[in-house]
Chains A and B, each alone.
Chain A
Amino acid sequence: MPEIRVDRLTKSFSNLRVLNEVTFNVNEGEFFTLLGPSGCGKSTTLMSIAGFLEPEGGAIVCGDQTFVDRERGISLPAEARNLGIVFQSYAVWPHMTVFQNVAFPLRVRRLKRAELRERVTSALELVEMGDYGHRYPHELSGGQQQRVALARSLVYSPSVLLLDEPFSNLDAKLRERARRWLKDLQLELALTTIFVTHDQDEALAMSDRVLVMREGNVLQIDTPENVYRRPADRFVAEFVGQCNFLEGTIERSDASSALVMLRGAPNVLEIQTGGLAIGSAVTIAVRPESIAVVPDGRESELPNTYTARVRAGSFLGDHYQYELLAEMGEISMASSTPITTETVHIQIPPAACSIVERAGSNTTSPEVVPV
């Protein structure tokens, strides 16, 4: 399983730039996810890798094979790239049986009959569809069709597996199961996999690394934990989960931490990001669940404590969700225990704060983390 390098990919549809110098690497055996809202360019990127779209600029290299290099005028046709792809619609050919569907790539490769049968059978067994070879696609459920599509894309040992929102047509329960099952399979076969989704839960649950895109730009490439806990950008913080945004100016800063004066708040906020210019304006993201309630009387012992009034609360099964009004503005907070008082002391842990905006920069200038 080789690695994939995507280098400065650009693409426009009638003057609208849908990919803007998209660059990333996918390591061998890695489960790599392209995440973003619809229209962000994630599917365009995937289809460019698969060979169904022609980028205007940039290069795509897989192992020692160059798929696309616009400068050198190289563009390998889709059928020569040896990739496995599972489409959102599964694209299981309705006029062929399950067996014929899975055998098709091997027939194209002229395998001997016995070997073909053996490989198709083992591929179907791998996806737990061994008994369904003679069925036609319309006799299968959505989840089963998806497995057939997967077997078909794996049977010829492709170098990389591409998945285009494969779970979006499954209902919630089935989706959960299919997700776990696919992840196990990917680990077992050590498949280099590129996965496209707009579902943040799916991205976080399955990926080794996640790339977040918006309007053709790469915003962040990192592990699921870091994308969630240390979002590089206001959009990333908002798109992946809920988030509070606090605005303030830097009061003091050393190499590894800083103090921020929040607008309207009586005391400074300590954060664990260093090297910031004093006096510069910043926006800080804090997840609702990292905010903690401080027992009465202990508020002066801890850093970053504030007083807030409870405006509304709701019970969501596994936790309570509260809308608070603090000195620096509205804050939403998730708590595992109910709050019974009208006002409450809250603490924002320094480690839970990440800077998502700085003065002079805006949301669309991402920090691309080279890997």
Chain B
Amino acid sequence: MTTTTTDFAIPNPRKARVPEGFAQSATWLVTVVFVIGPLLPLLYASFRDRPLYEHGGVFTIAPYRTLFSDPAFWRAVENTLAFASLTTAIAVVGGASIAILCARTDLPGRRVLGWLTLAPIALPPLGVLLGWIVIWGPGGYLATMVSLHLHMSAIDLTSIPGMAIIGGTGSLPIVFLICQASLARTDASLEDAARSAGARPYRVLLGITVPMLRPAALNAGMLVFTLAAETLGIPLLLGRSHNTNFVSSYLYSTWTDASSPDPGSVSAGAIVLLVFASALLILRNRLLGSESRFVAVSARTGAHHPLRLGRVRHVFAFGIVLYLVLTTLLPLLGLAVMSGVAILTPLRAPWHFLTADNYQALRYSVFRHSITNSVTIALIGGALTTALISLATLVAHRSRFRLRRSLQFAVLYPRAIPGIVLGMGFFWAYLLFDPPGHFLLSSFWGILLAFSVHCFTLAYLVLYPAMGRISGSLDQAARAAGAGWWRTSTRIVLALMWPAIFAAFLLVFVAILNDYEPALFLVKPGNEVIGVTMLQLFEQGTIGPVSALAMVQLAATIVIALAAARLLRANLRRGNA
């Protein structure tokens, strides 16, 4: 180019080592096969007159007829709807109120309270549930204490309202997160305008803030309702004493407990649950699309003057603290104490029963196997999921691949698939396609696959915004310089977002470590995972060691989630640099 170097000719760019079309089609195919793969066999199984593992069989709608004529199914539907509605009501009212108080008023300590309200979103749901049962459940520490000293019964966790309290407080952080984001986006000067017009603080909150928050609350409510309708752990651990089933636990018990299991009608039930959850997801996306149209989005205002609540603000703050203590701190504390004592009873102080036996018990083979399996699955599954979804996100957003839009849907869809449905689908898929089905069914790889697919959405939700922050001209510059799609993607785009990729890996790792629902149909002696072992042994009354295991899981989750948050912040700085 310059006078000194015109004597050499510059060679042409070398051919791409990985052809663009091949890499993109392969990514698309693998992703879509993993998502659709388990669902088609499930659909097929629901229309056969005998289980897929028996030879023969013809098309029939009998499984659906059996399912719909079973009164227990309808009772389960009723229970599920009642539970999901109550859960949603608790979560939306609570989450939206705390979000408004923290974002718009002079609540004392609002930053810390907001953070503490959000934090439980990262905790393993099964561990928290066990904590609840230990403290507030039948025979639980505080439940017994209340009835002993106050001569009245505490909440009955085995009733549907009782279960909804666990479900509602568990999903409250989701609502809080969505409402908080919406409040941060909307222009606070709309409220300032109302104050200038003479409205008093409560008038402003009720007249402006709350109505403006309605779209976000609706969105959050639908998400919570969908998640609540698929809940499995709560009815499994709390509903059985009164024979209260939800659809998910009905399916699980019909499959495992019945004297003559009918896989066909269970598959039909799974399809019904899947269709219900998918319909809610699609409806929610529709509403979400229209939400952006009527939310006033503008440049964020710099300084916002919080609404003055007067002296009541201390009452509100105390209320939030009390809520956090009762629903998060006490259950976690209960779990911690439970893991360190031989018996937990209000009749005698816990330190009389201090022991390390529960932790020592984790050396027994069933626990040891579960831990090794879970950690191995989480490591390999986390790495594979992160790699695949990184590529899928690239194809969906940084390529001209023709089917790229469908890929975005394919990675978002697993969120709508109830874990138990996904597990059942994989079970049928492994039965139908052998090899490698048999191998997958008898090793932890089968569970690994199901857990990984369950986490596609999570990985995408972490990776997509990070990729969005990388300016398109950075990869165009590489293309212009002669690099192909693959080289540009790996050397520029992925290289720039490695903190986010690592954060995605950590979050998927934790999610897989805490996941159990898809594995319920896939575990066999030898390939146990932590969650399923905890659930099964807790049900059988092995409470101490299970609490110890839950504490280990909890500690790992907190440490890793904090590391991931730190990485994401680092990525944000890189992106803004």
Contacts and interface: CB of A to CB of B under 8 A. Distances in A.
A99 interface: no
Interface in A85-110: 85, 87-89, 91, 93-95, 104-106, 108-110
Given A79-B13, A153-B480, A91 B473 contact: yes
In which size bucket is the chain B interface?
Answer: 20 to 34
Interface in A192-225: none
Contact of B1 (A93, A94, A109, A189): A189
Contact of B481 (A88, A89, A156): A156
A52 interface: yes
A51 interface: yes
Given A110-B11, A155-B1, A52 B479 contact: yes
B260 to A, nearest CB: 59
A104 B478 contact: yes
Interface stretch (B135-143, B427-435, B482-490, B506-514): B482-490
A54 B326 CA distance: 60
Given A93-B477, A154-B1, A104 B11 contact: no
Contact of A93 (B4, B479, B496): B496
B77 to A, nearest CB: 44
B233 to A, nearest CB: 43
Contacts of A78: 476, 479-480
A34 B483 CA distance: 27
Given A52-B476, A85-B480, A91-B474, A123 B2 contact: yes
- Of B471, B478, B480, B574, which is in contact with the most chain A CB atoms at under 10 Å from its CB? B480
A363 interface: no
B12 interface: yes
Contacts of A149: 477
Contact of A51 (B10, B12, B479, B495): B479
B203 to A, nearest CB: 44
B479 A79 contact: yes
A156 B577 contact: no
A84 B480 contact: yes
Given A122-B5, A123-B2, A156-B10, A105 B482 contact: yes
B489 to A, nearest CB: 12
B383 interface: no
A229 to B, nearest CB: 36
B574 A83 contact: no
A81 B481 CA distance: 9
- Of A52, A79, A82, A83, which is in contact with the most chain B CB atoms at under 10 Å from its CB? A79
A287 interface: no
A79 B483 CA distance: 6
A252 B504 CA distance: 79
A138 interface: yes
Interface stretch (A22-30, A111-119, A173-181): A111-119
Contacts of A77: 479, 484
A189 B2 CA distance: 7
A91 B14 contact: no
B471 A91 contact: yes
Contacts of A162: 480
Contacts of A123: 1-2
In which size bucket is the chain A interface?
Answer: 35 or more
- Of A51, A78, A122, which is in contact with the most chain B CB atoms at under 10 Å from its CB? A78
Nearest to B483: A108
Interface string B3-27: 0110010111110000000000000
Contacts of B375: none
B473 A87 contact: yes
B2 A93 contact: no
A129 interface: no
Nearest to B487: A108
Contacts of A126: 1-2
A157 B481 CA distance: 10
Contact of B482 (A50, A82, A95, A119): A82
Nearest to B577: A138
B1 A108 contact: no
A109 B4 contact: no
Given A89-B471, A119-B5, A94 B482 contact: no
Nearest to A85: B480
A80 interface: yes
A230 interface: no
A152 interface: yes
A81 B2 CA distance: 20
B495 A157 contact: no
A149 B478 CA distance: 11
Contacts of B14: 108-110
A126 B5 CA distance: 12
A51 B483 CA distance: 13
B329 interface: no
A65 to B, nearest CB: 12
Interface in A12-30: none
Given A109-B11, A111-B10, A104 B473 contact: no
Contacts of B473: 87-89, 91
A28 to B, nearest CB: 16
A153 B11 CA distance: 16
Contact of A87 (B1, B4, B477, B482): B477
A152 B478 CA distance: 10
The 3 closest A-B pairs by CB, nearest first: A105-B481, A91-B473, A91-B477
Given A93-B496, A118-B5, 15 more contacts: A78-B480, A79-B13, A80-B13, A81-B480, A84-B480, A85-B477, A94-B577, A108-B481, A109-B14, A122-B4, A126-B1, A152-B481, A156-B1, A157-B1, A162-B480
12 contacts: A50-B476, A78-B479, A79-B483, A80-B13, A93-B496, A94-B496, A104-B478, A104-B483, A105-B482, A111-B10, A122-B5, A152-B481
Interface of A: 50-52, 77-85, 87-89, 91, 93-95, 104-106, 108-111, 115, 118-119, 122-123, 126, 138, 149, 152-157, 162, 189
